[in-house]
Structure 1
Amino acid sequence: MSPILFYGVPSGCSFGSIVALEWLGAPYRLSRIEMPEVVTGDAYRRLNPVAETPTLLTADGALISESMAILNHIGARGIDRGLGFAQGTPEFDRLNQMLAFLNTSFFGAYAPLWYALEHAGEGEGRRVLGEYGRAQVRKAHEDLSAMLGDQPWLLGAQRTLADAYFIGIARWNEYHQAVDRRDYPNLQRLFDTLEADPAVIFAHAIEAQRTAVSAGGFAGEVAFDQVLADPRLAA
């Protein structure tokens, strides 16, 4: 059986895992998880007790959650494509370092802005959260832009899982307008390159439920209630 990625909408960080699976080229399926309704329900918590996306059901029935873990799983299958690297190599360490920055500093910078948007209502609390979040986003962009420099990809001459994860988070700025990405030309260049990538175009179409043309191994979507009957989840 092919792996199934449970991806969150709207605009979940699982976007990067979809892009990575497309780049991998091996067969996979997708299952759409509405947030917050379905993701916080008891049925989904059977798969992921912390009620977050993404979650990956592997071909042999294992459940993997957290983007870094899923991306490293995909990377181990895509070493021959340069998506990941063998553990113990300097390249593996550099990839994990970049993924860790994206998962903590870059992702985390938007957390106050998401909270302000979804929970803070109006007034002083929302204003303070907004100011703090925008400052964090600016610093994360400054740091990442310096790390990227004039390289074509985050790790250098070759695209990796880090670039897939980056684009899924970078698009959050369209919601919050925390920075003008044009102030960071290196990141704007990378963003534009990725937005033109067929895998990224595919992932946007999947989220928007438009006609999506896979250049990878996409084998179709499966409804969440159907996945719950998958024999791999019976154990």
Structure 2
Amino acid sequence: MSPILFYGVPSGCSFGSIVALEWLGLPYRLCRIEMPEVATSEAYRRINPVAETPSLLTADGHLLRESLAILNHLGSQATSNGLAFAQGTPEFDRLNQMLAYLNTTYFGAFAPLWYLLEHSIGDTEKQALREYGRALVEKAHADLEAMLGDQPWLLGGQRSLADAYFAGIARWTRYHDDVIDLADYPRLKALYERLQDDPAVRFAHAIEHQQAVTSAGGFRGEVTLAEALDQLAEATQEPVQ
């Protein structure tokens, strides 16, 4: 069976895993998870107990969670195209290091802004959270701008799975009322704009917005959560509750 990626909308970081799958050309299916309603449901918690996306039901019926783990799992299946590398090599270490930064510091910088968006709090708390979030996002972008340097992609002269993951998070600056101006980080802005022209990125945007689109990779269609649970039950030989 083809793996199933559970992707979150609106604007989930799972966007990067869709881009990665398109780049890698691996066969896959998608399962749309509305956040927070479906993500926090008992049904989806059978897939991911912490009610987050992305999750991956692998071809052999195992569940995998967290973007860093999913991207490294996918990359291990396609190391010949320069997007990922064999574990134990210096190139893998550099990729893993960049993915770890994106998955922790860069992603985490937006946490106060997500809390602000998703919770009802007083004006004083709102202002404090927004200022704190802006400071974190500014620092994360300044540090990533310095790491990027003059190279066109996050790891150098060729794109990698790190760029796919970056594509899904960098757009949050606009989602949160333009908390920063990417023009203040010209190298990152150039990378972001280059990615927006990529067919896989355009495909991921279209999938999120439920628009007609043609895959350039191994997309095999979408399945419902109920269908995915049936497949999980079949793989584990456990009845669906």
2:238 maps to 1:232: no
SS in 2 for 1:36: coil
Task: Show the counterpart of 1:126.
Answer: 126
Of the structure 1 ranges 7-16 and 79-88, higher mean CA displacement relative to structure 2 is found in: 79-88
CA RMSD of aligned residues (A): 0.9
Task: Show the counterpart of 1:44.
Answer: 44
Cα deviation, residue 122, structure 1: 3.9
Task: Show the counterpart of 1:184.
Answer: 185
Task: Show the counterpart of 1:116.
Answer: 116
Of the structure 1 ranges 225-234 and 207-216, higher mean CA displacement relative to structure 2 is found in: 225-234
Give the letter aligned to residue 139 of structure 1: K
Cα deviation, residue 233, structure 1: 4.8
Task: Show the counterpart of 2:92.
Answer: 92
Cα deviation, residue 100, structure 1: 0.8
Deviations 1:123-173 (A, max 9, x none): 100100000000000000000001001111000011111000001000001
Of the structure 1 ranges 68-77 and 116-125, higher mean CA displacement relative to structure 2 is found in: 116-125
Give the letter aligned to residue 232 of structure 1: A
2:82 maps to 1:82: yes
**C-alpha distance in 2 between matches for 1:182 and 1:233:** 50
Task: Show the counterpart of 2:101.
Answer: 101
Give the letter aligned to residue 175 of structure 2: Y
Gaps in structure 2 of 5+ consecutive residues: none
Give the letter aligned to residue 52 of structure 2: E
Gaps in structure 1 of 5+ consecutive residues: none
**C-alpha distance in 2 between matches for 1:39 and 1:192:** 30
Deviations 1:63-93 (A, max 9, x none): 0000000000011011011121111111111
Consecutive aligned runs of 4 or more in structure 1 exceeding 6 Å deviation? none
Task: Show the counterpart of 1:21.
Answer: 21
**C-alpha distance in 2 between matches for 1:223 and 1:145:** 39
How many correspondences in the alignment? Answer: 235
Task: Show the counterpart of 1:34.
Answer: 34
Task: Show the counterpart of 1:212.
Answer: 213
SS in 1 for 2:201: helix
**C-alpha distance in 2 between matches for 1:132 and 1:54:** 26
**C-alpha distance in 2 between matches for 1:233 and 1:107:** 33
**C-alpha distance in 1 between matches for 2:7 and 2:56:** 9
Cα deviation, residue 120, structure 1: 3.9
**C-alpha distance in 1 between matches for 2:62 and 2:114:** 31
**C-alpha distance in 1 between matches for 2:235 and 2:198:** 33
**C-alpha distance in 1 between matches for 2:95 and 2:235:** 31
SS in 1 for 2:179: coil
**C-alpha distance in 2 between matches for 1:47 and 1:19:** 21
Residue identity (%)? 68
